[in-house]
Structure 1
Amino acid sequence: MSNSLAVAAVTATLRARLYARLGGPQVTVAPPDKAPDAAGGDHVNLFLYRADLNPAFRNADPPGSPPGESPKPVLPLVLHYLLAAYSDNEGMAHQLLGAAMLALHDESVLSPDEIRAATTASLPGSDLHLQPERVKITQETLSQDDIAKMWTAFGTPFRMSSAYQVTVVLIDSARPGAAPMPVLRRGADDRGPAARPDTGSPTLLGLRYATAGQVSALPGEQVTLLTEALPAGALSAGLRHLRVRRSTSVPLSGGGGAELILTLPATDLPAGPWAVDVGPAGGASPRTNTLALGIAPEVTGLAAAAAGTPARTRVTVTAGQHVLPGQQVAVLVGTRQLAVGMLTAPTKTVSVTAELPSGKTRVRLRVDGVDSEIVDRAHGTFRTGPTVEVTIP
């Protein structure tokens, strides 16, 4: 989702768009009673006058939260803006208002690239551009009575204006959510029936990790791809990260019958969800459908130390792969999910600070929804050691 800078990020993005489209006149964000004098000469004023809760997201789990977890609900906001134009020439003010309304009408969605460009310099800590839900702009129709009451409350003479609502802005809770430990056993052979059509086309039916019950793989490990109707000749797997701009092609070796062995690159393979497909080497067609492949973060070191504030501890996790800007990261200490702030540069070390109970506890690193492995799947037990356990002072 996004942090508490999201409201300011929306305003900054709208302001940057209006300034770029108007080609010169300033764009202010002053209250209506101060807007006429907020800038010299012609200008447009964009005033945030109300913030409501979006009912659709109010009691829902945050988008993308893993099943079985209990994250704290997000703060889902609908922002209401009032757009007005000012000039010594009333005809020019009408021209500015029309141009500004068109700028908001032509592109009704604030794209991640637009948000990032508008906030990089002024709000470097904003991560609104990483929000999975798109931020949409809609013109809002107000009744004549609502307009009269609004301008009376502003304490300034009525001005020709247009109202807009921007939704949805999802702000993460500052409190840690609950992330239960993985289930070691669910029962014997609890899989249900599966049905699929036989199309005769190259198809990727599924994938199998090295150990039963495993849900992700580490760089350098082997994954078995289950296929059918593949063309003859050399084959390769295409890998594409679903959150950051990383992709690669890996040659495949035969595993017997319709099984192919994918040996994951040992380096430069960021953790998170990847899409995998199979086709002729070199990326030629025909290629199969894509399936999701989880690449787990590899934890190589853990540390915990008092944070200088009573009852607060700083937990530091060192990973084997770089965590990249644009990835959403959390450290799971026991059953507490603690979000890591937005990254501005690639790093292998992330830290969180929180009030934590003292004693030995297990720690997981979550990158884009994929957790580091703390379960020994071959024996059905939790792992122990300095890369999965830490002592909270």
Structure 2
Amino acid sequence: MSNSLAIAAVTATLRTRLFEALGGPEVTVAPPDRAPDAVSGDHVNLFLYRADLNPAFRNADPPGSPPGESPRPVLPLVLHYLLAAYSNDEGTAHELLGAAMLALHDPSVLSADEIRRATAVRLPQSDLHLQGERVRITQETLSQEDIATMWTAFGTPFRMSSAYQVTVVLVDSTRPGSSPLPVLRRGADGRSPVVRPDAASHAPALLAVRYAVPGQVGALPGDTVTLLAENLPAVPLTARLRHLTVNRSAEVPLPAPAAGATEIDLPLPAAALPAGPWSVSLAPDADAGPHTNELVLGVSPRVIALAATAAGGTPARTEVTVTAAEPVLPGQRAAVLVGTHQLAVDLLTAGTTTLSVTAVLPPGKARVRLRVDGVDSEIADRTTGTFLSGSTVEVTIP
């Protein structure tokens, strides 16, 4: 998802692509009645003439929302653009239009890297490049009646042009969603059934991740987790960890398991392990054998301090500040969950251990969690099935 700069970010990315593909002529975004005189000389005009809602995402929960939570629906946009070329020589205008249409046709997806490059200078606060759903460009066929109506409304003579739609652009709601407190017990060992397509497979495979205490959903850096496996070779292994959001990875050497072992302990590195979802797999040292499949391992953020201060306004707002032990990095999505209120943290442009949110909150004591890329800090003692208390999990809202 992204913030309210998403529309401007799409336009900036399309303009950058067209400018680079054409090799020099200006790319304007003026209304068609002003486009011929927007700049002197040859140029291409890209006009955003309509913004619709994407029906597939209109009432759906935001992608990646944990089950049981009620986040505010996103604003799912379909942007409609009109592309036209202008020149004193009509043949040159046709050449420009053809080159511009090819630039939008191939590739037909705005990649995260392309969006980031196009918005880094003029729209540094845009986070469209972090959206999980890819932004796609599709040529749009308009009827003769639609074309005539459109150019009549523009109040300018008809010009050879091509229409495009760009979707889906998911704009986050600025209102907090609802995030219920976690369930303290889910079953005998906190695990769901394991379904595998081939029970007779002899390849090494990981079946599940078991945390230190049943019911945990993440481990802290330096903790030891247990990997449940089958068909592991009795040779030294390497656990390969890869963060699923930011460019971070780690390798942990492991001793050879006993023949027929179905469990192997994995000590997590104590440092340089950002919070969030990681993939974990096992491979023999020196790649001398088949690798296992990957499983998702949650690394929880660790909160070391909380603070709540009055932020003024009518109605009265409160600023809640969370201090984490490990930095949250650019490219990661963070939220502060105050009681049942889910409050998104603004886009990060640098790594930081201090994250603040401001909202209208009911006064009194509230439990606080830090969520990083979908993994929450722990606020419960899973061994006793009770909530924790103290200055790192509770704060008093003035």
**How does the TM-score come out when normalised to structure 2?**
0.96
Contact 1:221 1:263 in 2 (8 A): yes
3-state DSSP of counterpart to 1:145? helix
What is the letter of the counterpart of residue 151 of structure 2?
W
Larger mean Cα displacement after TM superposition, 128-137 or 204-213: 204-213
Do the aligned partners of residues 365 and 255 (structure 1) sit closer, same or farther apart at CA in structure 2, a change above 3 Å counting?
farther
Q: Which amino acid aligns with 2:321?
A: T
* 1:335-359 deviation digits (Å, cap 9, x = unpaired): 0100011101111111001111111
**Matched residue of 1:157: which SS?**
coil
User: Would you say the 8 A contact 1:236–1:283 is kept in 2?
Assistant: no
Match of 2:356?
351
Q: Percent identity?
A: 73
Q: Which runs of 5+ in 1 are unaligned?
A: none
Counterpart mapping for 1:156-167 below 5 A = 156-167=156-167
Which residue is equivalent to 1:133?
133
CA, structure 1 residues 225+23, in 2 after alignment: closer, same or farther (shift >3 Å)? Answer: same
Supply the distance in 1 between the matched residues of 2:333 and 2:79 (Cα, whole angstroms): 25
Shift of 1:232: 2.9
Q: Name 1:43's counterpart in structure 2.
A: 43
Q: Which residue of 2 aligns with 1:172?
A: 172
**Are 1:203 and 2:186 counterparts?**
no
**Equivalent residue in structure 2 for 1:265, among 269, 277, 290:** 269
Distance 2:348 2:192 in 1: 41
- The answer to whether structure 1 residue 28 and structure 2 residue 32 are counterparts is no
| Structure 1 residue 89 displacement after superposition | 0.5
Q: Residue in 1 aligned with 2:377?
A: 372
Residue in 2 that maps onto 1:60: 60
How far apart are 1:233 and its partner, in Å? 2.1
How many angstroms apart in 1 are the aligned matches of 2:190 and 2:115? 45
Compared CA separation, residues 232 and 190, structure 1 to 2 (3 A): closer
Where does residue 323 of structure 1 map in the other structure? 328
- Is the CA contact (8 Å cut-off) linking 1:273 and 1:293 kept in structure 2? yes
Shift, 1:107, TM fit: 0.7
Q: Which amino acid aligns with 1:2?
A: S
C-alpha distance in structure 1 between counterparts of 2:195 and 2:92, whole Å: 66
Would you say the 8 A contact 1:254–1:261 is kept in 2? no
Is 2:238 aligned against 1:236?
yes
Instruction: Give SS of 1:217's match.
Output: coil
Q: Is the 8 A contact 1:230 1:279 kept in 2?
A: no
Deviations for 1:130-157, whole angstroms, at most 9, x for unmatched residues?
Answer: 0000000000000001000000000111
Kept after mapping to 2: 8 A contact 1:251/1:262: no
The counterpart of 2:279, out of the listed 255, 264, 275, is: 275
Cα pair distance change 1:99/1:274, threshold 3 Å = same
Q: Tell me whether 24-33 or 283-292 shows the greater mean CA deviation.
A: 283-292
SS of 1:114's partner is helix
- SS where residue 348 of structure 2 aligns? coil
Read off the aligned partner of 1:178 and give its amino acid letter: S
Specify the code of the residue in structure 2 equivalent to 1:97.
L
Q: 3-state SS of the aligned residue for 1:93? A: helix
Contact 1:253 1:261 in 2 (8 A): no
Q: 1:143 matched to which residue of 2?
A: 143
SS in 1 for 2:312: coil
1:349 counterpart letter in structure 2: T
Q: Distance in 2 between matches of 1:76 and 1:4?
A: 12
**CA, structure 1 residues 177+192, in 2 after alignment: closer, same or farther (shift >3 Å)?**
closer
1:382 and 2:384 matched = no
CA shift for structure 1 position 284: 5.0
TM-superposition CA deviations, 1:196-217 (whole Å, max 9, x none): 3131111112121000111110
> Are 1:226 and 2:225 an aligned pair?
no
2: CA distance, partners of 1:332 / 1:254 = 42
Query: Are residues 99 and 195 of structure 1, via their aligned partners in 2, closer, same or farther at CA, if it must alter by over 3 Å?
Result: closer
Query: How much does 1:187 deviate?
Result: 5.3
CA–CA distance in structure 2, aligned partners of residues 167 and 302 of structure 1? 39
Q: What one-letter code is carried by the residue in structure 1 that aligns with 2:123? A: L
Alpha-carbon offset, residue 252 of structure 1: 2.0
TM-score (norm 1): 0.97
Counterparts in 2 of 1:275 and 1:189: CA distance versus 1, 3 Å: closer
- Offset at residue 225 of structure 1 (A): 1.0
Q: Is the partner of 2:239 in helix, strand or coil? A: strand
Contact preservation (8 Å) 2:186, 2:215: no
Q: Name the CA distance, whole Å, in 2 between partners of 1:64 and 1:152.
A: 44
**Partner residue of 1:332?**
337
Match of 2:296 among 283, 292, 300: 292
Q: Is the 8 A contact 1:333 1:364 kept in 2?
A: yes
CA pair 254-384 structure 1, distance change in 2 beyond 3 A: farther
Give the Cα separation in 2 of the matches to 1:282 and 1:347.
36
Shift in alpha-carbon separation, 1:227–1:195, aligned structure 2, 3 A: same
CA distance in 1, matches of 2:88, 2:225: 70
2:375 maps to amino acid:
V
Cα distance in 2 for residues equivalent to 1:46 and 1:235: 55
CA distance in 1, matches of 2:128, 2:188: 44
* Matched residue type, 1:36: P
Secondary structure of the equivalent of 2:21? helix
- For residues 159 and 37 of structure 1, what CA distance do their matches in structure 2 show? 14
Query: Mean Cα displacement is larger for which, 78-87 or 310-319?
Result: 310-319
SS of the residue 1:357 aligns to:
coil
Match of 2:44, as an amino acid?
A: V
RMSD between aligned alpha carbons?
1.4
Q: For 1:290-314, what per-residue CA distance to the aligned partner results, in whole angstroms no more than 9, with x for missing partners?
A: 0010000001110110113241111
- 1-side partners of 2:335 and 2:201: how far apart? 41
Instruction: Name the stretch that deviates more: 330-339 or 224-233.
Output: 224-233
Equivalent residue number for residue 248 of structure 2: 246
